[in-house]
Amino acid sequence: MTLGERIRELRLAKRLTLRELAARVAVGFTYISKIENHKLEAGHSPSEKLLHKLAVELDGNEDELLLLAEKVPEPIRRRVCERPEVFRVVAGMSDEEMNRLLEQFGAAGTVAEAK
């Protein structure tokens, strides 16, 4: 799923028009439309601040929206900076190895969702 698809899905679930959502997050409705339709020009992706506002207005998961926008949520960014050697190892793992690791730590539901 893309960021635009997820925002549209959340917006429709809340029964909001593009204009209504745009007014609530203080941007132009055409900008929301461009996000939803993957029509943003390079370098014009939504800011973390806007993604936060969208998550609040749409009752969405802020971390999910950030990740779909290819932005790293602050708690993850902080941990990567604190322990880069750990994340280097994880980055080199195969999906199968990561799934086994998650299962070891009791995050089996996360593995099922990822498949």
Q: Which domain holds residue 105?
A: 83-114
Q: Is residue 95 part of a domain?
A: yes
Domains held by the chain: number: 2
Are 97 and 47 contained in the same domain?
no
Give the predicted TM-score (pTM) of the model.
Answer: 0.77
Radius of gyration (Cα) for the chain, nearest Å? 17
Are 20 and 45 contained in the same domain?
yes
DSSP label at 39? Answer: -
pLDDT-based confidence at 25, cuts 50/70/90? Answer: very high
Q: Is residue 17 part of a domain?
A: yes
Are 33 and 58 contained in the same domain?
yes
The model's pLDDT over 103-112, given as tens digits with 9 standing for 90+, comes to 988 865 544 4
The model's pLDDT over 39-96, given as tens digits with 9 standing for 90+, comes to 998 878 999 999 999 999 999 999 999 999 999 999 999 999 999 999 999 999 999 9
H or E element in which residue 5 lies: helix 3-13
Closest among 34, 44, 69, 37 to 55, alpha carbons compared: 69
Q: The domain that contains 13 carries what CATH number? A: 1.10.260.40
Are 62 and 88 contained in the same domain?
no
Are 15 and 63 contained in the same domain?
yes
- pLDDT reported for residue 112: 46
